[in-house]
Structure 1
Amino acid sequence: MKLKPVDLRPGFIDRAVAVFAPQAAARRMAARVAMANMQRAYEGAARGRLTEGWIATSSSADAEIAAAGRVLRDRMRDLVRNNPLAAQAVQVLVGNIVGTGIRPRAASGDKALDERVNALWREWSARCDAHGHTDFHGLATLAVREMIEGGEVFALRRLRRERREAGRIPFVIELREADHLDEAARPASREASVRQGIEYDASGRRVAYWLFDEHPGDAALGSAKLPRSQRVPADRVAHLYERQRVQSRGVPWGAPAMRALRDLGDWQAAELVRKKTEACLVGVVFGAEEAEQGVAPSVVDADNRVIEAFEPGLIAYARGAKDIRFNQPGSGTGIREWLQVQMHLIAAGFRVPYALMTGDLSQTNFSSSRVGLNEFRRMVEQLQWNTVIPMFCEPVWDWFVEGARLRGLIPVDARVPAEWAPPAFESVNPLQDAQADLLEVRAGFSTIAQQVARRGYDPEEVMAEWRRMAEQMDALGLVFDSDPRRVTKAGLHQADAPAPADTD
């Protein structure tokens, strides 16, 4: 067998490399991509034709919020102002998280001290708003609403103007929106760093916030004064926001549903215009033949007047009209189903049940609604105990206790923690739930105090009121079926019950 001589003419090898090298490189690249996809073992991480448009970044949460935070806040506020679904979703969340108020109760272990502190709290919390509009529970409601709608809110501890008045807690609370944070602020020293208006020390601990005294948006009211930011120490600020990643600031809760809300609103507006247009034009009178019509670029009526607007019941005449054709409105089937699917997506983006956001209970029954409410309430309790109480309620309580110490209203070395009682959820089946609570107490799974606190009341106050009422009933010789000392659960008289007092 003869071997063909190798062509060693000048340029032959270069031409061969130019032809075959790109093909070999492409094959190697395809093999590496296939091998990488097999190593990932996650379809969501695969790269190919079907995922070409999937753009994802590996930036930090703070970098993403810095780039998109302001736009998200502005758009979310616009939706809440003008979109009924967004407004209702925010109201449902605020109503369930705060309700009538998250109430504290002093728990130092010293009964006399606790009663003193609780009395001071009732007096101070009724007038703790720096602007004088509401009480502590109203501030908590507004703070949670700002967190949901704007992503975050700042509560500032400020001295009272009448701080020299004796017997008064010298602090009040002022709320400021996320827009008050000066994102362009610079650190005052080399040891500190400022990111998005929050100052950190060398160890990464928050030491101050750079906040505008006035809202930057007040310029729209004609104010010629430019807002200037001031450094506020971190121990005077309570920053309330939800942490979904390791992040320094929050984002509006409805961010996943913004596009869906906007698209649904645009679709509803377009559909309404289409229906109005179909209802306006009833019929058009045409000529018998195209040549006889002589239709001009504009439509005119019988008096040769140009028709520039449609109105209900309109019949338009073309030139040389000899025939009439009536409008055929399009079918509206499937609109309700499509709307429900879109609203389900929006409700999921806001993390609220569909029925609570829309008021549509046609597709629910007792069991399904209870299952959905249980999951929603579990999420609300998580937010109350993991976000609102530690990031807003506890700092305000600490400021209150510190103010009471400074004024000498309680001992300087007194440590007075608080037990918080969020509002109780409305029972779907009150009788069944009450029976379950009673069984838990009788079995020792919980105490009466815990059951009272779950309903948003102070167990000490309830017990004291119960004792006063029992003594008053005994003094008047009254026996009620609700008195377990005298009447059994079955409604029978207790054999060993003390005799009622003789009123004669």
Structure 2
Amino acid sequence: MTRPGIITRMRSGLKAFKRAYSGFDITGSSGKWPMQSVITAPISQQLAASRLASRKIAWLVENSALVASIVQNSVTAIVGDGPTVRPLHPDPDVNAYLQTAWGEFYSACDIEGRQSLGGLLARVARGFYIDGESFVQLVTDPQTMRLKLRLLTADQVDSSKTVPSLGMTGDQPMIIAGVEYDAVGRVVAYWVFRTPPDAPWASVSPAVRVPAEDVAHTYEPRFAGAPRGISPLIPIAGLAQELDQAHDAAIVKLKTTALVAMILRDLDGSAVAVDTATDPASIALEPGTTIKLPPGMEAQFPPTAEMTAIGEVLKHFARTCCAGAGVPYFMAANDYGEINYSAGKLGLATFQRRVKALQANHIVAQLLDPIWRRFVLLEVLSGRMRAPDFESNPERYGASFLWPSWPPLDELKQAKADTLNVAARLKSRAQIISENGRDVADTDAEIATDPYAAGNLSASAATIASQNEPENENA
């Protein structure tokens, strides 16, 4: 027996190494990984696909029941009926004035005069899911010196406006997809069309430069340096369209299965001369009738396919779409027959964390905070509010926003948990009130003026903890 040479052993070793490394199939060396399934330039590819993708997502939202439900439930969960504001100034009189002025602004903030701030935020959240971004222009009414908001469409910011700086003219700004940057990298302006490009009789004038401090851009940058956003529903768009087509095919199949069809075959060719009573063209299946076939004819019925598993297949696709969108399936499909208390609470907890992240990181940080700063600035500059320390202590004129709370799955269990947490000093009363979307001062004022709250109606933690709960077999 002869041993292989050194060259043969080296070749076999290299092949083994190649097989072991390509087993991960991340480089595509095995041929199993599609070569087109790679993102080589994330920002450029996103900018190229975002506008067409938003149009397809918009079509799905208007035509797909599941995608429409996903967007509707997400927007409702994020905005609700709108947040309440809590000014942070140490002077209660200043806080009271700011709350009153903010209430007036809340009800009449839209420059079109049609919606309150809650309705505008719902449109912003809807644009976030369809276009991946929303733009709100901060406008000062020249007659009243009050803040007004103008919602811009994503197409209204000129995505074709790209002017590279190239570093040859010093401080020349760089414009990418309608977003202008200075030499340091700060966003300094947006290039905006006067009217939406898809509006009837839209203006054909070129985009104008709007300073960045006058525009609130709400979006989620998926990659570092991404100037624009893209819809978070992109991963499920293709599957959602296939799911709709599968639904249509299943409906057609159900309709054809419900039909009674018959095929007449001439077995030996003897059915040549037939009278009108036995003419195959005049034969029809009717309830309670007896049909006499011509001599030599045989009746056959086409087979019908089984559809017992189609429901589970369609449900699996729907669950995958909901998982990709971050919305619980039972909420989007309005299907609560297969969940219990624990499963529902677990599914809602994950969804609530996502909603809170969107509220804090995007709606508040990118939109409500700039609106509040401009609102307070106009109140001071117009002379409606006296603020001698506004420039020296601007942090005193900040605010926090309280969102509507989620209704508990079991009110008695939630009340027990809140009472025990306060008794054990794990939570404060103010924290629990804030989690319910209320202000502590407002709650205390309402309790103080409530004649039924004059006595001590609160129960001890031990009393509440010992209360019996209703039996729940699925808990």
**What TM-score, normalized by structure 1, do the two folds share?**
0.79
Partner residue of 1:243 out of 221, 226, 231: 221
Paired letter, 1:265: D
Amino acid at match of 1:45: I
Match of 1:99 among 76, 80, 84: 80
Q: SS in structure 2 opposite 1:43? A: coil
Q: How does 1:285-364 map to 2 (within 5 A)?
A: 285-289=264-268, 291-292=269-270, 302=279, 322-364=297-339
1:399 alignment partner, one of 374, 382, 389: 374
Q: Are 1:83 and 2:61 matched, yes or no?
A: no
Equivalent residues of 2:43, 2:223 under 8 A apart: no
Question: Per-residue CA shift, 1:231-257, capped at 9, x if unaligned?
Answer: 111000000012332222111121111
The 5 Å alignment of 1:259-298 reads 259-289=238-268, 291-292=269-270
1:377 matched to 2:352? The reply is: yes
1:255 aligns to 2:234 (yes or no): yes
Q: Is the 8 A contact 1:286 1:320 kept in 2?
A: no
The SS at the match of 2:227 is: coil
* Shift in alpha-carbon separation, 1:449–1:484, aligned structure 2, 3 A: farther
Q: Is the 8 A contact 2:124 2:134 kept in 1?
A: yes
Letter of the 2:456 counterpart: R
Note the C-alpha offset of 1:325: 1.8
- Distance in 2, matches of 1:235 and 1:312, equals 76
Worse overlay, 251-260 or 73-82: 251-260
For the structure 1 residues 395 and 487, does the alpha-carbon distance in structure 2 shift closer, same or farther, using more than 3 Å as the test?
A: closer
Q: Tell me which residue corresponds to 1:439.
A: 420
Q: CA deviation at 1:373?
A: 1.1
Residues 346 and 54 of structure 1, relative CA distance in 2, 3 Å threshold: farther
SS of equivalent residue, structure 1 residue 259: helix
Residue from 117, 129, 132 that aligns with 2:113: 132
Q: Does 1:193 align with 2:174?
A: yes
Task: Map Cα deviations across residues 409-460 of structure 1 (whole Å, 9 max, x no partner).
Answer: 2225433100111110110111111121122222222222221111111211
1:49 aligns with 2:56: no
Quick check: 1:285–1:317 contact (8 Å CA) kept in 2? no
- With normalisation by structure 2, the TM-score equals 0.83
Letter in 2 for 1:485: N
Q: List per-residue Cα deviations over 1:12-51 (Å, max 9, x = no partner).
A: xxxxxxxxxxxx9xx97x97686577679x8252533353
CA distance in 1, matches of 2:292, 2:160: 65
Which of 414, 434, 444 is residue 463 of structure 1 equivalent to?
A: 444
Q: Which amino acid aligns with 2:446?
A: E
Unaligned 5+ residue runs, structure 1? 1-23, 295-300, 474-479, 493-504
1:451, 1:188 → 2: CA distance? 51
Q: Distance in 2 between matches of 1:429 and 1:337?
A: 30
User: Which of 96, 120, 123 matches 1:115?
Assistant: 96
Is 1:172–2:173 an aligned residue pair? Answer: no
Distance 1:224 1:135, change over 3 A: closer
Cα deviations by residue, 1:58-79 (Å, 9 ceiling, x for unpaired):
4343212111101210110000
Pick the structure with greater CA Rg.
Answer: 1
Match of 1:133, SS state, is: coil
Match of 2:472 in 1: none
Q: 1:386 aligns with which of 361, 365, 370?
A: 361
Q: Residue 187 of structure 1: CA displacement?
A: 4.8
Matched-pair contact (CA < 8 Å) for 1:286–1:323:
yes
Q: What corresponds to 2:4 in structure 1?
A: none
Which aligned pairs between 1:182-221 and structure 2 lie closer than 5 A?
Answer: 182-187=158-163, 191-218=172-199, 221=200
Q: Please tell me whether the aligned partners of residues 288 and 321 of structure 1 are also in contact (alpha carbons under 8 angstroms).
A: yes
Alignment check: 8 A CA contact 1:210 1:232 kept: yes
How far apart are 1:138 and its partner, in Å? 1.2
C-alpha contact (below 8 Å) 1:260/1:342 kept by paired residues: yes
What RMSD, in angstroms, separates the aligned Cα atoms of the two structures?
3.4
2:405 is the counterpart of 1:430? no
* Separation in structure 1 between the aligned mates of residue 253 and residue 429 of structure 2, nearest angstrom: 61
User: 3-state SS of the aligned residue for 1:452?
Assistant: helix
**2:49 is matched with which residue?**
68
Q: Which amino acid aligns with 2:139?
A: R
Structure 2 letter corresponding to 1:333: T
The structure-2 alpha-carbon separation of the partners of 1:318 and 1:269, relative to structure 1 and needing over 3 Å to count, comes to: farther
Instruction: After TM superposition, give the deviation of residue 273 of structure 1 in Å.
Output: 2.2
Given that 2:28 and 2:34 are in contact with CA atoms closer than 8 Å, whether structure 1 keeps it comes out as no
1:229 to 207, 219, 223: 207
The structure-2 alpha-carbon separation of the partners of 1:194 and 1:457, relative to structure 1 and needing over 3 Å to count, comes to same
Is the CA contact (8 Å cut-off) linking 2:58 and 2:130 kept in structure 1? yes
Q: Structure 2: how far apart are the matches of 1:422 and 1:489?
A: 29
Cα distance change, pair 151–317 in 1 and its aligned pair in 2 (3 A): farther
User: Is this contact kept in 1: 2:195–2:203, CA < 8 A?
Assistant: no
Counterpart Cα distance in 1 of 2:140 and 2:291 = 73
**For each residue in 1:111-130, what CA deviation from the matched residue of structure 2 results, as whole angstroms up to 9, or x when unmatched?**
11111111111111211101
Partner Cα distance (2:457, 2:29) in 1: 78
Instruction: Classify 1:268/1:103 alpha carbon distance in 2 versus 1 (closer, same or farther; 3 Å).
Output: same
Deviation string, structure 1 residues 304-347 (Cα, Å, up to 9, x no partner): 5999xx9999x999998722222432211211111111111100
Task: Determine helix, strand or coil for the equivalent of 1:349.
Answer: helix
Aligned counterparts of 1:88 and 1:254: Cα–Cα separation in 2? 13
Cα deviation for residue 489 of structure 1 reads: 4.0
- SS of alignment partner, residue 448 of structure 2: helix
Give the aligned residue type for 2:218.
L
Distance 1:188 1:256, change over 3 A: closer
Inter-partner Cα distance in structure 1 for 2:21 and 2:357: 37
Structure 2 distance, partners of 1:316, 1:199, is 80
